[in-house]
Amino acid sequence: MEEKLKSQAVSPFSETKIGPLTLRNRFVKAATNEGMAKGGIVTKGLARFHERIAEGGAAMSTVAYCATSPDGRTFVDQAVLDDASLKDFRSLTDAVHKHGAAASAQITHAGSFTFLDKDSLKTNKPLSSSGGFNKVGVMSGRYFKKKMNREELSAMAGEFVAAAIRAKEAGFDAVELHMGHGYLLSQFVSPIYNKRHDNYGGSIERRMNFPSEVLKKVLDAVGKDLAVVVKYSMTDGPKGNDISDGIAVAKRLEADGAHMAVLSNGLNVESITAMFGSPLPQASGGGNAIVKIGSWIQSLTEPKDVVFRESYLRELAQQVRANVDMPLAYLGGVQSLDGVQNAMADGFDTIALGRALVFDPNFVNDLQSGAITQSGCTACNRCVTMMYTPGGTSCIETPYKPDPKLNQVGAAS
């Protein structure tokens, strides 16, 4: 039966339309923090990273973690979509367009999931859906967070809109609102973080109200010109939202008019194995003390027996697919032509690839030409911790290494 479905499936190398945007095929580079915006500057290294993805055949490359404001960063080495960054972001999008691909800007705000020091973060307490003790802040000395009031909610929605408008000015073809993994919008979606008793807390329908407001305002501002994509976590992992909540989120996004949803999973702190399908390597962090501490804490709480398997989120994603008609991107460990064909047979519109494209930016072209049918990525996750090194995110097992010198200057040539 599965072989019959594969033969009837849409070709992964065919065009598809996402809102106002036509993609040349069904492959999208998923947002994976690159670690190439040293000091917040969009570098030549970041531009070259995404240009190689475009050269390698992907239809769209997503620039990870474009913060809505300086306070919205998780670390200081993340870019902000502000006026000062537009010229360098334009160099990046021009480089991607040169190879016939589209560029997407992932727009997000950290909320309470921030490691900025007191000199870098303006507010004494980072903003979140709820106030009280900030467990993430233990690693950076920010022990309390602030429950956002109505004025702050409106201002934050305005930040997302302003960032989306700047993305358009910088030449991006799409924006991706990050509603997953424990960042600010996810802190409203997840009951692990959201303890409110007003119209923004309680049921999943009410927990989605603020993220929905942000989405609709961004659609109003740029949706006629840019594809507006949402990335979210189908479940929070062992606790919090389950797949019934994940389906409810997808239905809300569809009703709001999102052009596509990227189906991710898990949270950065509570369930990173649910996100990656395999644990982070122990004693990792590339010299970053916070990451080393975080990895150690996770090693105490995460499951010890998780073994990576291709398409590890397939069963969850199939349940979402069965409940909505909107375009969906399958994300989660596709590493072979068989995995690609299974996702197409399941009815997904695009396939979001992370580690496979870090391992080999030419993966899509090589699949299409028949040069390979299987990625050499082992899902060891050491690429995740390489983002904290001078060269940024890279695979230690392939020759596709970023040049650290390219991360010392702006992207503009």
Catalytic positions, written as ranges: 183
Instruction: Please name which of 158, 156, 167 lies closest in space to residue 83, comparing C-alpha atoms.
Output: 167
Give the integer Cα–Cα distance in Å for 378 and 359: 9
Phi, psi of 372 (to 5 degrees): -140, 160
Comparing CA positions, the residue from 59, 31, 36 lying closest to residue 47 is 36
Distance CA(404)–CA(388), nearest Å, equals 12
Question: How, if at all, do strands 127-128 and 144-147 pair?
Answer: parallel
Go through 359-371 and write b for each residue having 16 or more CB atoms within 10 A of its CB, e for each that does not.
Answer: bbbbbbbbbeeee
DSSP labels for 242-268?
A: -HHHHHHHHHHHHHHT-SEEEEE--BT
Whose tokens are 């040539």? That residue is 413
| Strand, helix or coil for residue 179 | strand
Q: What is the residue type of 222?
A: V
**Residues 202/297/108/200 CA torsion (nearest 10 deg):** 10
List the structure tokens of 26.
Answer: 């069904």
Residue listed under structure tokens 């519109």:
349
